[in-house]
Amino acid sequence: MPDLPAFWRFREASTYAVAAFFYGAASFTAPRAEELDTLLFGSLDAAAATFVTAGAKIGLTSLDHDGAVALASLGGGRQSEHSSDGTHHRYTAIGAVVLGYQWFFDWGVIAAFTGPDITAQMLAGRQSAGSAPIHLGFRLHGEIWARPTETTLLQATVIAGTALESVWARAAWGYRCWGAYLGPELSLYTDATGYRKWNVGLHGTDFDLGRYSFRVSAGLQTETGRRTAGPYVALSVWSPW
């Protein structure tokens, strides 16, 4: 496992990301509230390690075109940790507000964001419980949504933050059928505590129900301290507001 603080060098990277954002946004006049384009989203990853997230994506112009974008999110979860003292549960709450820019091409979209995040944690066992200090940090967030052909989708996301010295990454491929993109997915989470989690499964992305769109995933999850893999189920939903 790499030395995350040294590997990412967030201070230098964040400086370049902030500069890129302001360079791209400099040509825009501040929009009125009624001109903002907003997308609400939420997700649930249910397994031995569970996490819930909700938030909003706000376009300073239309979310369907090149332009500056803000993301605000709040999440929380629980993971199990095994040691000689027995099994403990780590509860985590994390919030972030990041600014960035998205670029549209004939084949898809690339987006990059940066901004502050804040994390609070509590470790609970059978006979004791304790909270860790609140950590303030910086987050880098990148996404690619590509359509190599008219019937296929390739999606990748990477989120790295200094609050927990963590990295989360997901990659998925899908083929268009039955009104959605169906295919395999792979995701990884790791942080400075040595905890690591892998998800390998199948997904269905872009199911529509009225104004709401969904992604459903299922597969196997492995994590640090567990000898065998267990099932996971994930649900994401998003809708314009």
Residues of the chain above pLDDT 70, percent: 80
* pLDDT tens track for 180-230: 999 999 999 998 888 899 999 999 999 999 899 999 999 999 988 777 889
Question: How many of the other CB atoms lie within 10 Å of CB of 32?
Answer: 7
Rounded to an integer, what is the distance from CA 241 to the centroid of its chain? Answer: 20
In sign, the C-alpha dihedral spanning 48, 43, 104, 117 is: negative
Question: How many of the other CB atoms lie within 10 Å of CB of 226?
Answer: 14
Query: What are the CB-based long-range contacts (under 8 Å, 24+) for 55-62?
Result: 56/241, 60/25, 60/28, 60/30, 60/31, 60/36, 61/28, 61/31, 61/37, 62/37
Check residue 2 and give its pLDDT: 42
Check residue 124 and give its pLDDT: 78
Q: Which domains does the chain have, with CATH numbers?
A: 4-26+37-240 (2.40.160.40)
* CA distance linking residue 155 with residue 207, whole number of Å: 16
Q: Would strands 67-83 and 129-131 be described as parallel, antiparallel, or unpaired?
A: unpaired
Q: Give the chain's residues under pLDDT 50.
A: 1-31, 33-34
Check residue 168 and give its pLDDT: 96
What the block records as the tokens of 195 is 């905890």
Burial class (CB in 10 A: 0-12, 13-18, 19+), 106: exposed
Using left for φ > 0, alpha for ψ between -120 and 50, and beta otherwise, residue 162 falls in alpha
